[in-house]
Amino acid sequence: MSAPAGNKDRIAFDRVSVEFQTAAGPLRVVDDVSYQIGDGEFVAVIGPSGCGKTTMMNIVAGFVEPSSGAVLLDGRPVAGPGPDRGVIFQEYGVFPWLTVKQNIAFGLKLRANRVPQGEREEICARYMRLMGLADFADAWPKTLSGGMRQRLAIARAYSVRPEFLLMDEPFGALDAQTRSAMQDLLLEVLQAEGKTVMLITHSVEEAVYLSNRIIVMTARPTRIREIIEVPFGYPREESLHEKPEFGELRSHVRELVMKEYAVQARQRTRMSD
Amino acid sequence: MRRAFFILVPWATIVVLWYAIHYSGLVNPALVPTPHSVALRFWELAGQRLPRDIWMSTQRVFLGVTLGILLAVPVAFVLGWYREVRGFIDPLLNFFRALPPIALIPLVIVYFGIGETAKVVILFYASFFSGVIVMYEGIAQISPIYVRVARTLGARDFEIFLKVIVPLTVPHMLTALRVALGVAWATLVASELIAAQQGLGSLIQNAASFFQLDIIYVGIICIGFIALAMDLGLRAVARQLVAWQERIA
Ligand SMILES: Nc1ncnc2c1ncn2[C@@H]1O[C@H](COP(=O)(O)OP(=O)(O)O)[C@@H](O)[C@H]1O
Ligand SMILES: [Mg+2]
């Protein structure tokens, strides 16, 4: 987090295009996208819903292969999913058959990152404490609120010490209060152990508050509309929301995003003609 | 206390209705033995052949269902996991499931005689086809999100199978077991009606030839209660095994 932006490319989109084969023929979703994420950077990707954000994240995560171009991790093309990239999915994916603690321990019991039991206990305890889950160690996920499930998903992703954190609209389903608390918690945890972060969001406020660079995407097939540097340093506090510079940047980004939503709406009406 | 009361009410109602039918004069009382005469007959038989009949029937069901489910589990995994295989096998499974096992009894007798093997084969058949479908439909519905999460944490294929697919399949296994048990009891009695010296089906069949209606009732009630006890037992096990589920079986 403290590292200056762009000193070394960790994630690089190199002329990436994605086309899905659908019943109605090929659907171009991502169109010739190139950008880089440097070490310790926090990049927010924003754009109208359905434009192809999740698809881009899925390429980095290793679940989707680009039709052309490549995504490079430290210079090497992505080859399938792996524990170096922690992924927070839109729908959390907390394992319902495991307790809170067992969820966090899951990754640590796998061949790929097995650690001795003592260390495992320590790691679990540490993230349960950090994420405010310590009192729920033996609870079933079905008894947790949305915010707690989200924190559990983050704790589980962190437990295997990923270098990258990929988050797909992680706070989208939370109420405003919980959402704001989760954002601060995320910043806090990142402050403690830096990661290179790619955050997908449709909230302009969230993008400006959390990231040091915002990539605004166009409507589908998605291209880069604009890349915006966020000039605020870390750590950040709630009061940042009230600053005039924050407001200006937010308005600028919002305007861009709204334009893309308008483009998308026009596409839709044209298609239904 | 209240709970016990509410559990007893429906049963008591049935007994009362039963008496009412017997004494109403609407039917010939000789055709509907009273509950107490059936109870008396039960006591009498409990000291004679009944324990052996219950034991034989239960044992057959247990064997047939165990074997059927043992085979159904791996088959269901393959079908649930490999979408391509399912397309070919699904019609076949539905064909065999649609055949009432009872209709196969004559064939089974030709091929396996009238011994224990024949009965276990029929129950195996019934349990396998009813169980496998319940189970693989459950497995096919498992949300791919959990597999994805496991992969991002570093899980390999065998770890995903053991640590994600298997635990998510346990509830479906239990459902399959319950369905199979139900079908197996229904089939068992039919197979014992035709050819058996011992078992609740043969008890009923023998009683029928001598027009001993009270014994027929004893047999039927025993079957009902054994099936009920097994189902309650399974549900108790299920509550422990799948306590994590939102909805408890
Ligand atoms: N596997 C797929 N096959 C076909 N179409 C897909 C697939 N995945 C996504 N899409 C389509 O691609 C578009 C972009 O999806 P997505 O990346 O999820 O958008 P976003 O996350 O920006 O809302 C959508 O129109 C979606 O229907
Ligand atoms: Mg999405």
Q: What is the ipTM of this complex?
A: 0.89
Q: Which ligand has the shortest distance to the CA of A49?
A: 1
Mean pLDDT of B73-97: 86
**Closest by Cα among A57, A61, A10 to A38:** A10
- Residue A100 confidence class, pLDDT cut points 50, 70, 90: very high
Q: According to the model, what pLDDT value does residue B249 have?
A: 44
Task: Provide the 3-class DSSP secondary structure of residue A33.
Answer: strand
pLDDT in tens, B178-216: 999 989 988 888 888 766 788 998 899 899 899 999 999
pLDDT in tens, A204-215: 999 999 999 999
A2: pLDDT strictly greater than 50: no
Strand partners, A248: none
Contacts of A208 (CB under 8 A, 6+ apart): A214, A230, A246, A249, A250, A253
Residue nearest to atom 2 of ligand 1 (CA): A20
Mean pLDDT for all residues in chain B: 89
Q: How does DSSP classify residue A137?
A: T
pLDDT in tens, B101-156: 888 888 888 998 888 888 899 999 999 999 998 898 888 888 899 999 999 999 99
- Residue B242 confidence class, pLDDT cut points 50, 70, 90: confident
- Residue B248 confidence class, pLDDT cut points 50, 70, 90: very low
pLDDT in tens, B155-167: 999 999 999 999 9
Mean pLDDT of A180-193: 88
Task: List chain A domain ranges.
Answer: 1-84+164-273, 87-161
Among A60-64, B22-26, B42-46, where is mean pLDDT lowest? B22-26
Q: According to the model, what pLDDT value does residue A3 have?
A: 46
- Residue B77 confidence class, pLDDT cut points 50, 70, 90: confident
Q: How far is B178 from chain A (nearest CA, A)?
A: 21
Query: How many Å apart are CA A155 and CA A118, to the nearest integer?
Result: 18
Q: Which ligand has the shortest distance to the CA of A168?
A: 2
Residue B183, number of CB atoms within 10 A of its CB? 24
Mean pLDDT for all residues in chain A: 91
Query: How many Å apart are CA B64 and CA B53, to the nearest integer?
Result: 17
**Which domains are delineated in chain B?**
33-241 (1.10.3720.10)
**Alpha-carbon distances of A176 from A93, A147, A193, A246, B112, rounded to whole Å:** 21, 11, 26, 19, 70
* Residue in A29, A88, A90 to alter for ligand 1 test, most ligand atoms within 8 A of Cβ: A29
Share of chain A above pLDDT 70, in %: 96
The highest-confidence range among A213-217, A218-222, B24-28, by mean pLDDT, is A213-217
- Residue A7 confidence class, pLDDT cut points 50, 70, 90: low
Q: What is the residue-wise DSSP string for chain B?
A: -HHHHHHHHHHHHHHHHHHHHHHHSSS-GGGS--HHHHHHHHHHHHTTTHHHHHHHHHHHHHHHHHHHHHHHHHHHHHHHH-HHHHHHHHHHHHHHHHS-GGGGHHHHHHHHTTSHHHHHHHHHHHHHHHHHHHHHHHHHTS-HHHHHHHHHTT--HHHHIIIIIHHHHHHHHHHHHHHHHHHHHHHHHHHHHHS-SSSHHHHHHHHHHTT-HHHHHHHHHHHHHHHHHHHHHHHHHHHHHTTTSSS--
B247: pLDDT strictly greater than 70: no
For residue B191, the number of C-alpha atoms closer than 13 Å in the C-beta half-sphere is 34
pLDDT in tens, A116-130: 999 999 999 999 998
pLDDT in tens, A79-97: 999 999 999 998 889 999 9
A51 Cα: distance to centroid of ligand 1 (angstroms)? 7
Q: Which has more pLDDT, A233 or B191?
A: A233
Mean pLDDT of B208-228: 92
Q: According to the model, what pLDDT value does residue A169 have?
A: 93
CATH architecture under which domain A1-84+164-273 falls: 3-Layer(aba) Sandwich (3.40)
Radius of gyration of chain A (CA): 19
Using an 8 Å CB-CB cutoff, list chain B residues near A111: 154, 156, 159
pLDDT in tens, B208-217: 899 999 999 9
Q: According to the model, what pLDDT value does residue A10 have?
A: 94
Mean pLDDT of A19-44: 94
Cβ atoms A107, B154 nearer than 8 A: yes
Share of chain A above pLDDT 90, in %: 77
Mean pLDDT of A243-271: 91
Q: According to the model, what pLDDT value does residue B188 have?
A: 85
Residues of B near A (CB-CB distance < 8 A)? 145-146, 148-156, 159, 163-164, 167-168, 170, 242-246
The response to whether residue A53 sits with its C-beta less than 6 Å from ligand 1 reads yes
Residue in chain A closest to B147 (alpha carbons) equals A93
